[in-house]
Structure 1
Amino acid sequence: MKTRKLGNQGLEVSALGLGTMMMPDNEESIHTLQGAIDLGVTMLDTADIYGGFEHGRYGENEKLVGRALRGRRDQVIVATKFGITYSSEKPKGDAAYVRKSVDASLYSLGLDYIDLYYQHRPDVEVPIEETVGTMADLVKEGKIRYIGLSEASPERIRRAHAVHPLSAIESEYSLWSRETEDEVLPLTQELGIGYVAFSPLGRGFLTGQIKSFDDLPADDYRRMYPRFQGENFNKNLEVVALIEEMAARKECTPSQLALAWLLSRGEQIVPIPGTKHLDRVRQNLGALDVQLSADDLAEIERISPQGIASGQRFAELELNWVE
């Protein structure tokens, strides 16, 4: 397995990780998680709020990941997050909440320490110095090893990094979400911070498997997102068709092409595609063998330039959490 370094503090992970947000609590998910580890995936990404959307409970997905890791702890890097709550319309980052959250996540995961701990979304009412200062104390106490932020502004990243070196910034990045290229991605290169790309396949849109709105289950959260609705959907489908055509010529899948492009954007970038199925994990890992020439990259730039996606990437409430 090819590996990449996240930051300058010693964190090294597989070049592709695995996002676990949409994994149901069942045996297939355990099989997928353990199978991914067997294939060489070392980075598993979860959060305290994953898995509990329907009933407002924290730690559900963390418990799933924890069960899958029994006997395999030394083979993986576990990343989890805090800050998004069911009880408030804004994320939280005060010192007391950080400490409460890390203890709850350690309990749910069944671990003695967390490898990479993120603030899931910024708390604009709490100075980032307080949040990251508390996380730095948790590093000293051995509860976490490395610190990250998710969907934070360049200014917040700089201030946080001055308190304690950040190992990773996690943010959306894909062929149809390239906003990060303006400021955040260059900043991670400047400061020596890793970049973890979530939704690297456009929440499944870039796989080519979604051809109509009705392909989404009735309870699928993506139905709420503007890019999956109405005329936006049709316009975005046109871009995916071009990606599919190029992938066919390259003799790879659209997913592999999209991931290979991301990997080409910088050595500090680690995509974490999410899937419930082990065969998709195996397929995604094939992206590591896809070679993109200068002509290939130029063609991708032509068919999917920055700003090509139609519609906002989040529903309105979630947009309020993103800097």
Structure 2
Amino acid sequence: MSRATPPEAIAGRPVGPVAFGMMNLTLFGNIPHEEGIKPLKAALDNGANFWNAGTLYGTPDANSLHLLKYYFTKYPEDASRVVLSVKGAYNGANQTPDCSPEGIRTSVDEALRVLDGLKSIDLFECARVDPKVPIETSIRALAQLVKEGKIGSYGLSEVNAATIRLANAVYPPAAVEVELSLFSRHVLEKGGIADTCRELKIPLLGYSPLDRGWLTGQFKTLDDLPKDDFRRMWPRFQPGAFEQNVKLAEIIEEVAKKKGCTSAQIAIAWVRWQGVLPIPGATKVHRATENCNVVELTDAEAAELQNALDRMEVVGDRYPEMFHEHLNK
């Protein structure tokens, strides 16, 4: 595939070359707010002004929105600089979406309540498609919230090409967010999600561009994962799969060494090569800064990576089976 151009604007607002995913700042690790805002500030100051938050990233009383309220209370001048995306209408405790009109409105109203006027919601996404609610019904509810001024626009998350077309026919989305990395490439199948978004001129966002840390180069053996790390439950980190997947990660690391950058920067550059805005996360300032230091692949480097992908199989699904019901719907 030839190089494509990533989106430079979402919902009519300019965005930097790399976004910032907030999940790990509140979902794991019990990071205090005063520490959690440091990588946010570093990301923004290094050009990552599209922030991806979620009501499901933590408990109802301690999630992305609470961290954002803390941040914008401290840095009110940054509110106009940030393009804020919020994923919601999803119960993280039992992993079920509620994309009924009532469920969506309740989720948006709660997010606005927590933000307390400090920051508007530029983009709201139902985190997953609700199988109990026709997608057209959900989109009409989101469109009504746009008309009321409660959200600036809406996006789609973890959807397939058919759902994108159905939603677009009701009210065009401002963006589509899907998982995309060198390890997770289903988005790029011919006639699939990426092709559909290009046809309909919908910006495409790629979450987990580092595949939950696989593409940072930090994992060599299973012992590199703490015993209580959630990723030990993920298929690609299981014994047998791990040993195979580390071979591809090492090839990417070799490309990075020759280029004089990090594996993470190569992985992010590859997502950008596909014409997609990557959304890496970080809990440390130096990682946020590293991710924002954009490198560009040459044609030869892109070909080298493609050759490796053609030769090597990634072993294991991208999520455990319990999550599959709501993926790519």
Q: CA deviation at 1:211?
A: 1.9
Q: CA deviation at 1:3?
A: 8.5
Q: Is the 8 A contact 2:206 2:279 kept in 1?
A: yes
**Alpha-carbon separation, structure 2, partners of 1:179 and 1:169:** 14
**Alpha-carbon separation, structure 2, partners of 1:20 and 1:313:** 19
- Moved >6 Å (runs of 4+): none
Q: CA deviation at 1:214?
A: 2.6
Q: What code does the residue aligned with 2:296 have? A: Q
Q: Within the alignment, does 1:191 sit opposite 2:194 as a pair?
A: no
**Alpha-carbon separation, structure 2, partners of 1:282 and 1:215:** 23
Q: What code does the residue aligned with 2:98 have? A: K
- Aligned equivalent of 1:13, options 15, 40, 44: 15
Corresponding residue SS for 2:156:
strand
**Alpha-carbon separation, structure 2, partners of 1:164 and 1:244:** 42
Corresponding residue SS for 1:41:
coil
Give unpaired runs (5+ residues) of structure 1.
none
Q: 1:254 to 1:87 in 2, by over 3 A?
A: closer
Q: Within the alignment, does 1:178 sit opposite 2:185 as a pair?
A: yes
Q: Which residue of 1 aligns with 2:38?
A: 31
- Aligned equivalent of 1:82, options 88, 98, 110: 88
User: Which deviates the most, 105-114 or 207-216?
Assistant: 105-114
Provide Cα deviations, 1:184-243, integer angstroms capped at 9, x if missing partner. 011110111111110001111110012222322333221111001111011000111111
**Alpha-carbon separation, structure 1, partners of 2:131 and 2:266:** 37
Q: CA deviation at 1:83?
A: 2.7
Q: Within the alignment, does 1:294 sit opposite 2:276 as a pair?
A: no
**Alpha-carbon separation, structure 1, partners of 2:318 and 2:279:** 17
Q: 1:208 to 1:166 in 2, by over 3 A?
A: same
Length-normalised TM-score, structure 2: 0.90
Q: Is the 8 A contact 2:55 2:86 kept in 1?
A: yes
Q: 1:89 to 1:221 in 2, by over 3 A?
A: same
Provide Cα deviations, 1:124-180, integer angstroms capped at 9, x if missing partner. 110111111011011111110111011012111111111111111111000010011
Corresponding residue SS for 2:122:
strand
- Aligned equivalent of 1:223, options 228, 232, 238: 232
Give unpaired runs (5+ residues) of structure 2.
26-30
**Alpha-carbon separation, structure 2, partners of 1:87 and 1:243:** 35
Q: Is the 8 A contact 2:22 2:64 kept in 1?
A: yes
Q: Is the 8 A contact 2:6 2:272 kept in 1?
A: no
TM-align CA RMSD: 1.9
Q: CA deviation at 1:307?
A: 7.7
Corresponding residue SS for 1:4:
coil
Corresponding residue SS for 2:282:
coil
- State how 1:141-152 maps to structure 2 within 5 Å: 141-152=148-159
**Alpha-carbon separation, structure 1, partners of 2:179 and 2:95:** 21
Q: Is the 8 A contact 1:47 1:59 kept in 2?
A: no
**Alpha-carbon separation, structure 1, partners of 2:93 and 2:249:** 38
Equivalences, count? 313
Q: Which residue of 2 aligns with 1:107?
A: 113
Corresponding residue SS for 1:311:
coil
Length-normalised TM-score, structure 1: 0.92
Q: CA deviation at 1:90?
A: 3.2
Q: Within the alignment, does 1:122 sit opposite 2:122 as a pair?
A: no
Q: Which residue of 2 aligns with 1:213?
A: 222
Corresponding residue SS for 2:187:
helix
Corresponding residue SS for 1:304:
helix
Provide Cα deviations, 1:78-133, integer angstroms capped at 9, x if missing partner. 11111321465532210000110000111223336310100100001101111110
Q: Which residue of 1 aligns with 2:65?
A: 62
- Aligned residues: percent identity? 35
Q: 1:307 to 1:160 in 2, by over 3 A?
A: farther
